[in-house]
Amino acid sequence: MRIGMVTACYKPVVNGVTRMVSLYKERLTALGHDVTVFTLGEPDPAGDEAGVVRSPGIPLGETGYYLGFRYRQEAQARLRQMDILHCHHLMMSVELAYRYGQCPIVYTNHTRYDLYTGAYTPLPQQTADAIMRQIWPELTDLCDVVIAPSASLRDVMASFGVRRPIAVIENGVELALFRQPPRPLRREDLGLPDGPVLIFVGRLAEEKNISTLLRQFAIARESSPAASLLIIGDGPQRAHLQEEARALGLVEAVHFAGTIPYAAIPNYLAAADLFVTASVSEVHPLTVIEAMAAGLPVVAVASPGIAETVVSGVSGLLTQYAEGGLAVGMSTLMLDAEKRRQMGRSAQEASRRFDIDRTVRRTLDLYDDVRRQYHDSPRQRNRRNWQTQIEQLGQLLHPAPPRHHGERHDGG
């Protein structure tokens, strides 16, 4: 099968979406499928791997994402050769696949756009929600089926008016890599004291709520002064977070490791005792699954995506409220090594259902179903103006009065 992965960013950008796209490409290729990644922006400085077609885009700050509304000729021609297109972003992905493709379109929703729109635009959450109630259904209508990595996200999308069928297929990880790290590290290798090691892996950005994590760790550490917090990742908030750690008196206790090559992350997890996060915007977090596969219990907020992954009291400790609750969870496990080990074993066992090969098999079955339905009853597509995306992005920053019902978008 000729499969096109359509994404607004790809390697060398480090985030959960690029990792999932890379895993899909790797596994599907190994199964004999012809996989091409269609994306925007500059090539990887280390050299693009085979099967990556890039088109020009304008970088969106330090996010790693690019703004682009047209694919170059080679990409357009390659898109028309695909048997199925699998999109991984709502913007700069779905509509480009719809515009140039001549095959079924599958879309995986990796992001809580309702939360991100409110956090990253100067709009009240109520206004952001109103905009998403227009954009989410409108763009997903261009697809044949939508994938939600969790049942909770499926319900959120349905509540925002998404009309297309939504299949729940969980994210997957390379379990073997995390169960048996190639070069496991020890505390002394990282210069950490002989005490409990907590670890966070992720982008250092506002949506990850790391400021709260630092404050809660400072409280929890009062019961375990030798504890350390290892933070792996980088992002726009790094300098601010380092200053916060300094203000909290955590300079010696919090270690910012920066960006670590993905293949080396299991080695760092091997040095830790538990995984911690204060994020409430996760859909189905790969970093949590990876930590569980490494045998670490998880202390986190019981936000929808995490609550479907971690069973509180079994594979970790979840709290309804980050403030106060996280510190209690951290302290409980820092002071009880046997409970940490027991929950770690349960977490590793629970991670089995998130094997990437299982995820890929279920996705392939969905591809086959969608292709069958598409060819049996081809969907009549109304051509849309590609500039709609520009208007939608403009609405996020400068809300305009709603259009009159009589206005149309013609052309292609």
The HSE-up count of residue 385 (CA atoms within 13 Å, CB side) is: 10
Nearest-CA neighbor of 217 among 373, 136, 325, 84? 325
Q: How confident is the model over 10-32, as pLDDT tens digits?
A: 998 888 899 999 999 999 999 99
Distances (CA, A) of 298 to 12, 225, 275, 287, 347: 28, 20, 5, 10, 8
Task: Please provide residue 97's backbone torsions phi and psi, each rounded to the nearest 5 degrees.
Answer: -65, -40
pLDDT on residue 313? 97
Let me know whether 157 and 282 are in one domain: no
Domain end, chosen from 354, 372, 388, is at: 354
Q: How far apart are CA 150 and CA 307, in angstroms?
A: 10
How many domains is the chain partitioned into structurally? Answer: 2
Question: The tokens of 350 are what?
Answer: 């629970």
Q: Where are the beta strands (DSSP E) in 311-386?
A: 316-319
* pLDDT < 50 stretches in the chain: 378, 380-387, 390, 397, 399-412
Domain assignment of residue 111, yes or no: yes
Q: Cβ(213)–Cβ(277) under 8 Å? A: yes
Distances (CA, A) of 270 to 135, 173, 344, 345, 350: 42, 16, 12, 13, 18
Domain assignment of residue 185, yes or no: yes
Let me know whether 55 and 111 are in one domain: yes
Domain assignment of residue 412, yes or no: no
Q: How confident is the model over 76-120, as pLDDT tens digits?
A: 999 999 999 999 999 889 999 999 999 999 999 998 888 876 566
Let me know whether 159 and 228 are in one domain: no
Domain assignment of residue 409, yes or no: no
Let me know whether 258 and 242 are in one domain: yes
Q: How far apart are CA 207 and CA 237, in angstroms?
A: 10
Let me know whether 251 and 332 are in one domain: yes
pLDDT on residue 65? 83
Q: Cβ(278)–Cβ(209) under 8 Å? A: yes
Let me know whether 339 and 360 are in one domain: no
pLDDT on residue 214? 98
pTM of the model: 0.86
